[in-house]
Structures are given as C-alpha cells and as structure tokens.
Copies of this chain bind each other. A is one copy, B any other.
Amino acid sequence: MDISQQERTYETPMADKSTPSSLARYLDGEFWETKDHIREEISQGEPFRTSSYGLTLDQNRDLTVERLEYILTRPLMRHHLKDQMKEKQPGFIAKSLGITELICSADMSTGVKLGVVCGLFGGAVTNLGSPGQKKKWYLPVTDSEFTGMFAMTERGHGSNVRGILTEACYEPSTQEFIIHTPCEDAQKMYIGNSMKGNYASVFAQLIINGDSQGPHCFIVPIRDRHGVMNPGVTAIDMKHKEGLHGVDNGILIFDNVRIPRTNLLSKFGCVSADGLYSSPVQNKSKRFNAMLAALTPTRLGLTVQAIAAMKLGLIIAVRYSHSRRQFGPKDQQEVKIIEHQTQYLRLMPHLAAALALTFTTRFAACMMDHALCKGEVLQNNSSLQALVAGLKAYSTWENLACLQECRECTGGMGFMMENRIPALKCDSDVFVTFEGDNVVMLQVVVKELMTQFTRQLGNSVVGGLIKTWTSSVSDRLRTSFLGFNVDTVGDLSFLLKAVSYRERVLQRSLATRLYNKVEKKREEFFDAWNSCLHHVTGLALAHIHRVTLEQFALAVQECPVEEDHTLLTKFCLLHGTSLVYQERAWYLEHHYLTPTTSRQIRTQLLELCRSVKDEALKVVSDFNVPSCCIQAPIAGVANPRAEWAFYSAPEHPITASKL
C-alpha cells in the first residue's frame, strides 16, 4: 500500500461512544452485544480507517485481504466460526447475519469475500462434508491458515446450475477422482477468491464407469500457501468489474487434475475404494437439492448485505437532506432540501422498506435457525425457500432503487466517490444477479408456493392440485374482499388485507392459467410457464411484499417502548401504503380500490412521507452504523482525502419525536 496513513484516516467523532437508544437496541435485536463488539472491532481496526476508492485493482485486493484477515483473526470471530463446525447451534444464522451486515457496512468487498470463504466454501465443507473433512478443510480456515473458494457457476450454466459440465471421473486403480473441464462452457466462472485462495469446493458430475451420479462437491487444491499453482489448474483473472474491486473473480479450468477419493465431500454420496457409489438419498434430483441447501444461508446473507447498503445510503441522503438548503419562499432563507415534497417522497418509502426488511430478515433467520436445530433439510422447507428466494430478489432490487434515489437526492455531491453512495451502488449492483438471478429467484418463490400447496393437499398430480387449489382458496379470498371498507384505507388492517388479497388472487389465477395451458391445451410446460412469466414474477413479489408487511406489523406489535412503537407504527403504515400505492392499478382493475380510495392512498402516501421526514434523522441515527463505515463528508464525517467536501452534521429539527 503506497497510501500514507495520514492521508487515509477518518476522524471518528466522539458521538460514536454514546449509549444506543432503545430503538437502536430494538433494531439490533437479540444479538446486539455481538454487534456492538463487531462495531468496536471495526472502529478500532487499522485496515478500516480508510476508504478504498481510487486505488488500483491490486491495491484494492490487497486492502481487502488485509481487512478479511483482520476480521478472521478477531477472537469473537474465530469463536463464531468454530461454532459453524458444530451442528445445531441455536441462533448461529441470526448471529452470522448480524456480523455480516456490519462487515458489509464497513466494506462490501470484505463482506463478499467473507461470504465466499466462510459462507460458501465453509458452508459446502460443513454441510456436505464428514466430521473428518470439516476438520481437515475448514478448521484451518477458522485459524487463518488458508482460504477457500466456491466453484459452482460455469460459463455455460449460470442460472441453470443443474446443467454443469465439469467432470469428476473415478479411477479405481489409483483411488483418485480426475477433475476435468471438458469444454469451454464447463469453465468455472466468476469464482471469488480464485486468484488468492488455496482450495476450491468444486461442483462436478460424479462419473463412475461412464455413468453420471449427478453433481457432487469435491475439494480441489488450487495453489499452495506460497501461491504455487496445483498442476493442471489454470486460473484466469477476470479483472475489472463495475464494483467489488476488492474481490478477485476468475475462471478456473481443470486439465485432468487428480485428487484423492477422500476429497469428495461425503455426506450425500461417497465412492468406495473399488468404485461403488452409495448415498443416503436415492433420487438424483433430491440429492442435488439437498446439496444446494448449503446455499440457503448465504442467499439470506445477500439480503443483509443489501440492507447494509440501503442503510448507509439512507443515512447519507437523509443527513445531507437535513443540512443542505436550496430554494425557498421569496426573500427568505432557502429551505432544507428535505422540505421539498419530491425529496421526502423519494426517500421515506425506502426508509420504511429498510425497516421492513430488517424485521423480515430476522424472522427468516429465526425460521432457519429453528429448522437447522431440528435437523431439517432446508431445501425441503418450502415456506423458508420461498421466503429466502423472495427476500433475496426483493431486497436486492429495493436496495438498488433506494441507492439510486439517494444518489440523485444528494445531487452532484452524491456523484463524488468520497460520499460513498457511488461505490455502494456499483458494489451491490451484482447482488441482483449472483447467488441466483432475481428473475430466477422469483420463479423459485412461485414453484415453492405451489409445492407447499401440493403438500398441504397430499396430492401429487399437478393438474388436479391446481384445480382443487383454485376452488379451495376462494372463500378466504372473499373474506379479504368483503373486509374492504372505504373509511379504513389508513388502517394497517386494511393494508394487510390488501396485500394478502393480491397474493391470493394472483396465485389462484396463475394456477388456473397454467392448468388450462398444460392440462387442457397440452402445451409443453416450459412454454406454458414462460407465457405466464410476467404473472409469475408478479405473484412472487406480491408474496414477499405481504410477508414483509406482516413481519413489520408483528415487530411493531412487539416493540416494548411506547415512543418507539409510535414511531415504527408510522413507518409500518408508510410501508404498507407504499406497497398498495405501487400496485394501485391492479387493485383498481380488481375493484378492490375505487378511484376515490386509490386517490386517498396517494394522499396518504404523501402525508405519511411528510410526517416522518424529521423523525427519519432519528431512525438513521438508530441504525447505529459507526462513523468509519459512513465515511461521507456530506453526512458530517470529515475525510482528509476530500476536505473541501465536508458538511456539518444536521441539527435535529425536533428535540423529541412525540406525536
């Protein structure tokens, strides 16, 4: 690093040391102590007293390695990672997500690399490996002896991961697997940590005597600790990306690379010395599904990464909007830009969504921890899979929309790198693509919703199922419908019913359409599904919207401090109003809203946004993000690299947020 320490250090205001408010504690949740500890470690950590913009690719990657090492060597972190080796650790997922969010707040590249090394590589070894394999390949990671990578995606198969082509042929004479890339399309692509890591968990078709047993996961040495490549392995640097400059993505090509038989992670399938395959799961498709379960926690991890980015963007944009003045009544002082109707209308719904996502993610983590402690195969839990896939898509899109508004609402200042928003946008842009493209995720949601329904009915014939489903949900639909009352659009109960109604009607009509196409008209399923794709994605989003509003409402209900309860109630109403407003055309089409109530919803949205604009300062403060993570001069954090850009922090327009 050729950047002098003097130049790269942020000033850390004393304000950081104050005791968090009751709301901050409530937003932190159960593991607030762990999170406080991580906040302290990040604030104290030398590698985080800097910003990474304007560095060369190599400098950026080196800084990320430095940061990752710092994180991995913290005693709390080492302890936590060793818990990952054990099974059924209560709250492990929730705690991991809390830690992930804060590390991503400090630096997205470091967070993503942590996800690759511990979440994906670590997840593969600990979920798919035997106790001995965990000890051999993950214990050293927790001791910072080496790092790993996760090689699933191929050039030819990004989203459609079942079709991967990399081969692992068993050779009984040497008791080895021969890992091979048979064609260009089989190259492992976008592999994170591939230019630095030592071992890869490689997904390949397991072939014994020419027969494929489907994809399995193998540990393949890539390079030793001195960087010397394993013979037969080629790693091509993919170099420059839009963001995540600290993450070294590359292509892995295997030319008949030999690994011992024992390098097959053996939980869901193993091969005896003489080449006999055995597995606890007979069905190939189910087996692969079980293996994919290892991905579920990291998919939820992506949601907290998106939340981290959103919160930072909102902190910066809300603070600046309360500090910058422009335009105003004739011959008077210009007003704060937050006072412009368009400004609060652009920012406040995202703040409400950030809160909704915080509570919904906590709920999902809790479900997942619960399932894991019961020893469930996550992949078989349809509600959880639908929730995680839906959250991934919704949160990552919502984050991009939020950051774009934050960028635009901070004007030219928001285009400057020292103000953080541009890098957050560029880093998190790929979240909508990786760990499952969002459009694919939305299809997963709908497939899971359907599976869930099949199971409830104990019926496996798709056609019949859809038919029954269609009629069986109509009563509940009617209830929602009749629950509508002109006077109550401002009630949370109205909003909850509305989002629930929409999900169910979309579900019913999709089932009917698919049934007609597949069963009656005998269309190929792919074509029938594809012709309904707009409907499918609409349903998936309706599902996740409904869940976020419900979870937000529950969190409000459980909030113990009256003042916080009152504040959160307003944001919860805003979130619900914003969801219904976005889809008001659909509600009008279905006579759920009348033209008059639809306009009421718009008025209500404007009014709620106006009413929370000042309290927004308290909320972003209660996100409790350390100054060294916020970095932005326009948010009142001085940066010696851009002294000219400093804005003093806003004064709160109200001393107490009583209603």
A652 in the interface (beta carbon within 8 A): no
Would B588 and A598 count as touching, CB distance under 8 A? Answer: yes
Out of B340, B416, B438, name the residue touching A533 (CB < 8 Å): B340
Min Cβ gap A327→B in Å is: 5
Question: In whole angstroms, what is the CA distance A606 to B606 when docked?
Answer: 32
Would A533 and B411 count as touching, CB distance under 8 A? Answer: no
The residue of chain B having its C-beta at the shortest distance from the C-beta of A185 within the complex is B325
Out of B190, B411, B533, name the residue touching A433 (CB < 8 Å): B411
A557 in the interface (beta carbon within 8 A): no
Would A417 and B341 count as touching, CB distance under 8 A? Answer: no
Provide the residues of chain B in CB contact with A326, threshold 8 Å.
157-160
Would B585 and A241 count as touching, CB distance under 8 A? Answer: no
Of the listed residues A242, A326, A439, A584, the one surrounded by the most CB atoms of chain B closer than 10 A to its CB is A242
Q: Classify the interface of chain A: helix, strand, loop or mixed.
A: helix
Interface stretch of the complex, out of A268-276, A347-355, A484-492, A521-529: A521-529
A37 in the interface (beta carbon within 8 A): no
> Would you list which residues of chain A between 491 and 550 have a CB under 8 Å from chain B?
524-527, 530-534, 537
Provide the residues of chain B in CB contact with A426, threshold 8 Å.
242, 422, 426
Out of B53, B163, B534, B642, name the residue touching A345 (CB < 8 Å): B534
A430 in the interface (beta carbon within 8 A): yes
Question: In whole angstroms, what is the CA distance A422 to B438 when docked?
Answer: 18
Interface membership of chain A positions 592-619, coded 1 if the CB is closer than 8 angstroms to chain B and 0 otherwise: 0001001100000010000000000000
A400 in the interface (beta carbon within 8 A): yes
Would B238 and A416 count as touching, CB distance under 8 A? Answer: yes
Would A340 and B530 count as touching, CB distance under 8 A? Answer: yes
Interface membership of chain A positions 337-378, coded 1 if the CB is closer than 8 angstroms to chain B and 0 otherwise: 001111001000000000000000000000000000000000
> Would you list which residues of chain A between 183 and 224 have a CB under 8 Å from chain B?
187, 189-190
Min Cβ gap A443→B in Å is: 9
A404 in the interface (beta carbon within 8 A): yes
Question: In whole angstroms, what is the CA distance A439 to B343 when docked?
Answer: 9
Question: In whole angstroms, what is the CA distance A532 to B240 when docked?
Answer: 45
> Would you list which residues of chain A between 369 and 417 have a CB under 8 Å from chain B?
400, 404, 407-408, 411-412, 414-417
A236 in the interface (beta carbon within 8 A): yes
Would A327 and B159 count as touching, CB distance under 8 A? Answer: yes
Per the CB 8 Å criterion, the residue count for chain A at the interface is: 77
Out of B190, B341, B527, B589, name the residue touching A530 (CB < 8 Å): B341
Would A341 and B585 count as touching, CB distance under 8 A? Answer: no
> Would you list which residues of chain A between 24 and 75 have a CB under 8 Å from chain B?
53-54, 56-57
Question: In whole angstroms, what is the CA distance A340 to B440 when docked?
Answer: 11
Provide the residues of chain B in CB contact with A642, threshold 8 Å.
238-239
Would B591 and A595 count as touching, CB distance under 8 A? Answer: yes
Min Cβ gap A305→B in Å is: 15
Interface stretch of the complex, out of A282-290, A292-300, A328-336, A559-567: A328-336
Question: In whole angstroms, what is the CA distance A153 to B591 when docked?
Answer: 50
Min Cβ gap A416→B in Å is: 6
Provide the residues of chain B in CB contact with A531, threshold 8 Å.
341
Of the listed residues A53, A239, A414, A606, the one surrounded by the most CB atoms of chain B closer than 10 A to its CB is A239
Provide the residues of chain B in CB contact with A157, threshold 8 Å.
326
Provide the residues of chain B in CB contact with A243, threshold 8 Å.
415, 422
Question: In whole angstroms, what is the CA distance A411 to B153 when docked?
Answer: 12
Would B606 and A585 count as touching, CB distance under 8 A? Answer: no
Out of B54, B189, B530, B644, name the residue touching A251 (CB < 8 Å): B644
Would B412 and A190 count as touching, CB distance under 8 A? Answer: yes
The residue of chain B having its C-beta at the shortest distance from the C-beta of A599 within the complex is B589
Question: In whole angstroms, what is the CA distance A408 to B590 when docked?
Answer: 31
A171 in the interface (beta carbon within 8 A): no
Would A400 and B404 count as touching, CB distance under 8 A? Answer: yes
Question: In whole angstroms, what is the CA distance A328 to B159 when docked?
Answer: 12
Would A425 and B160 count as touching, CB distance under 8 A? Answer: no
Out of B238, B415, B598, B641, name the residue touching A585 (CB < 8 Å): B598
Provide the residues of chain B in CB contact with A533, threshold 8 Å.
340-342, 345
Question: In whole angstroms, what is the CA distance A401 to B382 when docked?
Answer: 33
Known contacts A407-B429, A426-B422, A534-B342; is-contact A158 B412 (Cβ 8 Å): yes
Min Cβ gap A73→B in Å is: 30
Provide the residues of chain B in CB contact with A342, threshold 8 Å.
439, 533-534, 537
Min Cβ gap A357→B in Å is: 20
Question: In whole angstroms, what is the CA distance A251 to B646 when docked?
Answer: 14
Min Cβ gap A552→B in Å is: 24
Provide the residues of chain B in CB contact with A153, threshold 8 Å.
412
A432 in the interface (beta carbon within 8 A): yes
A16 in the interface (beta carbon within 8 A): no
Out of B56, B241, B415, B585, name the residue touching A56 (CB < 8 Å): B56
Question: In whole angstroms, what is the CA distance A530 to B644 when docked?
Answer: 31
Question: In whole angstroms, what is the CA distance A591 to B430 when docked?
Answer: 41
Question: In whole angstroms, what is the CA distance A408 to B242 when docked?
Answer: 12
Question: In whole angstroms, what is the CA distance A642 to B189 when docked?
Answer: 13
Question: In whole angstroms, what is the CA distance A411 to B155 when docked?
Answer: 11
Out of B53, B414, B534, name the residue touching A341 (CB < 8 Å): B534
Out of B339, B415, B641, name the residue touching A429 (CB < 8 Å): B415
Would A159 and B526 count as touching, CB distance under 8 A? Answer: no
Provide the residues of chain B in CB contact with A53, threshold 8 Å.
240
Question: In whole angstroms, what is the CA distance A531 to B251 when docked?
Answer: 54
Can you sample 6 A-B contacts with CB below 8 Å?
Answer: A340-B530, A341-B532, A411-B437, A414-B433, A426-B426, A589-B595
Question: Which residues of A are at the interface with B, using a C-beta cutoff of 8 A?
Answer: 53-54, 56-57, 153, 157-160, 163, 187, 189-190, 236, 238-243, 251, 326-330, 334, 339-342, 345, 400, 404, 407-408, 411-412, 414-418, 422, 425-426, 429-430, 432-434, 437-439, 524-527, 530-534, 537, 584-585, 588-591, 595, 598-599, 606, 641-642, 644
Known contacts A189-B412, A339-B530; 11 further A-B pairs (Cβ under 8 A) = A53-B240, A243-B415, A340-B530, A341-B531, A341-B533, A408-B438, A415-B433, A585-B585, A588-B595, A589-B595, A591-B595
Lowest 9 A-B CB distances belong to which pairs? A242-B422, A585-B585, A341-B533, A240-B417, A588-B588, A329-B526, A589-B595, A54-B240, A584-B585
